[in-house]
Structures are given as C-alpha cells and as structure tokens.
Amino acid sequence: MTKKKPPAARRRPPKRALPTRSMLAAMAALAREARERAHAPYSRFKVGAALKTRTGEIVTGCNIENASYGLSMCAERVAVFKAVSEGLDDFDVIAVVADSKRITPPCGPCRQILWEYCGDVLVHMTDLRGRSRTMRLGELLPMPFDGGHL
C-alpha cells in the first residue's frame, strides 16, 4: 500500500536555493502581462499573478469580476486553480502585480487557498512603478488553518 502525500501546507519544502532577483523580475513581468487580461469593469482594479513550480513551470492568472461581486475570482486563485487543474503541484513562488499606492498583498481568501495548495511559498508583490516586496506566506498568514486542524 502506498503512503498518501500530506497536503502542501503540511509538507516541508526541500531545501533549495531562493529565487534570484532576475527570476522574481521575470515572474513579475509575466504577472504584469496577465494583469492586462484582467476583467475588472466594476472595481477597475486589475491584478495579475504568476505561480511557479519548483521544476520551473509557470502558470499565470488575472482577476475576473462578476456583477455579483462574491462570484469574482482573484488573480492568485485563478493561477492556483489553473495549475492544479493541469496536474501541477509543489510550488515555491507566486508573483502578484497590481497598480496601487501601496504594495498589494493577496487578500485573505487567496492567502488561505495559497496555504492549502502551495504551503509556505514566497510571495513577491510588485506595483507598476517597480516597487516590490517579497515575504513568506507564513508571514502574511500567521496561524493558518489547514487540514491538520480537521
């Protein structure tokens, strides 16, 4: 009988080198391109994301709004769901790009989804003026809820 892999949030990522500044810049550029495809007619707040696996595959997402606001999807969740639907896992970095006065972190629901599917990944946040900040998801979501609590 094969042993089932624990959810991403409970797996410890293998020790690997942190992404280089050039890798983070390349991911931010892909997130910026994805942002241009955002459908945000209500908020006019376009966001793009690029999610990378440890093997180098990158999946992008953009926010997609709906007149019933609760049915809207954030760029980060679109990227995660696209990646998972394609059979990808073992993520290490997500880049998020938005145009705002302050660096924009993922919202609460996105942090929860990222924790559940990606674990304690690096979150690289960039604005359109090139300012950026990189943090671990665990810093953005202290005391996360996951399958270990069930």
Instruction: Check: CB of residue 93 under 8 Å from CB of residue 24.
Output: yes
What is residue 73's DSSP assignment?
Answer: B
Alpha helices in 2-51, H assignment, sequence order:
21-35
| H or E, element range at 75 | helix 75-85
Does 76 qualify as catalytic in the annotation? yes
Report how far apart the first and last C-alpha atoms of the chain are (Å, whole number): 24
Q: Which residues pair with residue 58 across a beta bridge?
A: 52
Question: DSSP code of 64?
Answer: B
**Choosing from 33, 36, 65, 76, which is the catalytic residue?**
76
Give the span between the Cα atoms of 11 and 5, in whole angstroms.
Answer: 8
Distance CA 71, CA 17 (A): 38
Catalytic residue annotation: 76
